Amino acid sequence: MDKPWNNRAWFLVIPVFVLVAFSAIIPLMTVVNYSVQDIFGPGQAFWVGTEWFEKVLHDERLHDALVRQILFSLAVLAIEIPLGILVALSMPADKGWRTSLVLVLLALPLLIPWNVVGTIWQIFGRADIGLGGAAIRALGIDYNYTGNPRDAWLTVLVMDVWHWTSLVALLCYAGLRAIPPAYYQAAKIDGASRWAVFRHIELPKMRGVLIIAVLLRFMDSFMIYTEPFVLTGGGPGNATTFLSQYLTRMAVGQFDLGVAAAFSLIYFLIVLLFSYVFYTFITTVGTGDRS
């Protein structure tokens, strides 16, 4: 893949550059501006240096939100990745209408507006009017996601599994379809067990899509906002207040602009770090350098 070197290609990229600059760089500079100043109104700004950053780094509630966020993202990965692989392995391999139907059904949750995902689980999880909540109550468990922090947390987790496991499954399915049938035949002749086939053929071949899935799921779960906002509003207490929720509350609710801006920058840098890992990986895959 040796593409010709041509700097005039920049002319084709300029529209994207201008548009994204308008919606990314200007806003980002505003955030930087806020993060180092105390702004009361037009023309009334005071340089405060790193004060807001120090305040953010010492904010107890923010630490709690960060810990909750990391726990949540790890739990999401620990459940969705294995479950997604399992579902992908269970999908039919032919190209008939059944496969198409399964693909469409699996993709359905991915296309539902995120607030409606919250609404669906809000309805489904209620013990008085929801099938799910009522079923758990019937098992003798005192389940109430609006009052009990543990139940709320678990409900958000199950909701995320419901919403996004299909993404992992679809990616893995695409990876599995790329395996030539000859590999399976060879394994059969060697008398390989199901586990050995998975471990030595399917898993290595899914490596590329799996890393994409892990990174996408990590980053998206790290930015989760809408679904818990609708389902629990971050409560009860702060049980389901994740980073985006806390940030929005600070910026729009309490109007702590300086702290919110400093927080935004730190938040953005964390995500940027993961983007870099993602990008490095994806460009390696893109050039066909698979081991």
Partner 1 sequence: MTLRSHADDAVALPPRARARAASRLRVSRRTVVLVLYILFLLLPIYWMVNMSLKTNVEILSGLTLFPRDPTLQNYITIFTDPSWYSGYINSIKYVVLNTVISLTVALPAAYAFSRYRFLGDKHMFFWLLTNKMAPPAVFLLPFFQLYSTFGLFDTPLAVALAHCLFNVPLAVWILEGFMSGVPREIDETAYMDGYSFPRFFATIFVPLIRAGIGVTAFFCFMFSWVELLLARTLTAVEAKPIAATMTRTVSAAGMDWGLLAAAGVLTIIPGALVIWFVRNYIAKGFALGRV
Q: Do 258 and 52 contact (CB within 8 A), yes or no?
A: yes
Three-state SS at 82: helix
257 — alpha (psi -120 to 50), left (phi > 0) or beta?
A: alpha
Site size toward partner 1, by CB under 8 A: 114
What is the footprint of partner 1 within residues 199-258 (CB under 8 A)?
208-209, 212, 216, 219, 222-223, 225-226, 229-230, 243-244, 247-248, 251-252, 257
Contacting partner 1 (CB under 8 A), which of 57, 67, 174, 196?
A: 174
Contacting partner 1 (CB under 8 A), which of 66, 103, 203, 214?
A: 103
Contacting partner 1 (CB under 8 A), which of 57, 86, 141, 196?
A: 86
C-alpha distance from residue 47 to each of 42, 82, 115 (Å) = 14, 50, 39
Residue 285 within binding range of partner 1, rule CB under 8 A: yes
Residue 189 within binding range of partner 1, rule CB under 8 A: yes
Round to whole Å and give the CA distance between 246 and 240. Answer: 10
Round to whole Å and give the CA distance between 125 and 153. Answer: 12
Round to whole Å and give the CA distance between 227 and 122. Answer: 10
What is the footprint of partner 1 within residues 20-59 (CB under 8 A)?
20, 22-24, 26-28, 30-31, 34
Contacting partner 1 (CB under 8 A), which of 116, 199, 207, 290?
A: 116
Q: Which is nearer to partner 1, 46 or 274 (CB)?
A: 274
Residue 139 within binding range of partner 1, rule CB under 8 A: no
Three-state SS at 91: coil
Smallest gap from residue 91 Cβ to partner 1 (A): 6
Q: Which is nearer to partner 1, 239 or 262 (CB)?
A: 262
Round to whole Å and give the CA distance between 156 and 108. Answer: 19
Q: How far is CA 177 from the centre of its chain?
A: 25
Round to whole Å and give the CA distance between 272 and 274. Answer: 5
Q: Do 80 and 73 contact (CB within 8 A), yes or no?
A: no
Residue 10 within binding range of partner 1, rule CB under 8 A: yes
Residue 198 within binding range of partner 1, rule CB under 8 A: no
Contacting partner 1 (CB under 8 A), which of 43, 47, 140, 272?
A: 272
Residue 74 within binding range of partner 1, rule CB under 8 A: no
Residue 136 within binding range of partner 1, rule CB under 8 A: no
